[in-house]
Every structure is written in structure tokens, then in C-alpha cells.
Amino acid sequence: MDRKISFGQYRAIDLSILTALMVFSELLIFVAVKKWFGSQLYSVSPQGGLIALVMMRWGAWAAVPAFIGGALYSVLYGSGLNHFLIYAIGNLLSLGMLLMLSKCGKEKVRENVTLSVVFGLGVQVLMELGRGLVSLLLGYTISQAFGFIASDALSIIFTLVIIWIVRQIDGLFEDQKHYLLRLQEQEKEGGEQP
């Protein structure tokens, strides 16, 4: 029986897998930090890189892992409703990089190393700025808001590594509609040859 899934089912499965990967990675890092690096002032998170990946693949659907990642981060490292709002809502500012994808085109960003790096950095920086802005709206001081940004600055390196890795794998750092159409074309071309 040749059962095919719909595009919506494919997207739901893909989003679930990538979000689960982010959650698993975040939990693994949390355990490592608590066990070996408990006194560190800085943290590292895979969220920026994975949000950038989902944004490239699915556009605005990146809001799902952005919100879930921020919520999880606040539960693991924060305390209370304010931290939840700062991380879960602040992460959503990263969706501002959809403007870059719209203006430049996903294909151009995917193919150009410099644009890919700028895109990944933009996702991470906007995520950090979002957290800072939400903290200011909640009444935190500028230095406290800066603390929300600076404490996660090492994640920029993590984001760049993730972008570098996913760019190397065919179809991973690519709009999935484009990718599936490209595969379909390749199958047609391959099927027509003797």
C-alpha cells in the first residue's frame, strides 16, 4: 500500500521533530550546566539556530518553536510569570527576520554564505532584543534588560555553528515547498531517462 501524507501532515511532523530536537537539546544543556558548570554566568542555547532553520523551512511557523523554546528556557532557568513572558514572547521578535527572507528570497539566503550568516545572526540578535524589550515593558531597569541579552550572548556562536551544519545537508536549510517540488522534478527527469 502506497500511502502518501499531505503537505500539512508533512509540515506538522517536521515541526514536531525540530521542536522536539530543540527541547531535547535544551534539556541536555541544562543538565550539563547544572552538573558541571553551575557557577557560570552565561548560558548557551540551540534556540536561535533551530528557529532560523524552521523559519527557512516553514516561514512564520517558526513562531511555534520560538514560543515553546522560550517557555522551556524560562521554566529551566527563570522563575515566575515575568521570566515566562520575557523569554516566550521575547523570542517571537526573531520573526522579524522573515522580512529578510521576503526581501532577499529564501533561495538567495540559502545559497549565499554571507546572507546565511547574517540571517542566523539576525534571528539570534532579534530574539535577544525581544527579551530585553519585554523585560523593559515589564518594568525592569535597562541594566537588567541588558542582562537578559548579555547572559545568552554565547548562543550566537551556537547559532552560527548550527547554520553552518544545516547548510551542508541538501534540502535541510531550504524552503520545504521548494525542496519537495525540486525532488519531484528530479524524479520526473530520472524516470524519463532510459
pLDDT, tens only, 120-140 = 999 999 999 999 999 999 999
In a domain, 17, yes or no: no
pLDDT winner (highest mean) among 29-33, 43-47, 53-57: 53-57
In a domain, 143, yes or no: yes
In a domain, 55, yes or no: yes
The band of 2, judged by pLDDT with boundaries at 50, 70 and 90, is low
Asked if pLDDT for residue 18 goes beyond 80, the answer is yes
Looking at residue 43, what is its pLDDT? Answer: 73
What does the pLDDT average to over 167-182?
A: 94
The mean-pLDDT minimum among 51-65, 127-141, 180-194 falls in 180-194
In a domain, 124, yes or no: yes
In a domain, 88, yes or no: yes
Q: How many helices (H) and strands (E) does the chain have?
A: 11, 0
In a domain, 114, yes or no: yes
Angle between helices 155-167 and 47-58 (to 10 degrees): 40
> Model confidence over 145-159: pLDDT tens digits?
988 788 787 899 999
Asked if pLDDT for residue 194 goes beyond 70, the answer is no
User: What is the pTM assigned to this prediction?
Assistant: 0.90
Task: Give the chain's mean pLDDT.
Answer: 91
43: which 3 cell numbers? 548560558
Q: Which residues of 107-130 are buried (b: 16+ CB within 10 A; e: fewer)?
A: eebbeeeebbbebbbbbbbbbbbb
Looking at residue 12, what is its pLDDT? Answer: 97
Look at the chain and report how many structural domains it folds into. Answer: 1
In a domain, 74, yes or no: yes
The mean-pLDDT minimum among 80-84, 104-108, 152-156 falls in 152-156
Domain residues for the domain of 111 are 43-165
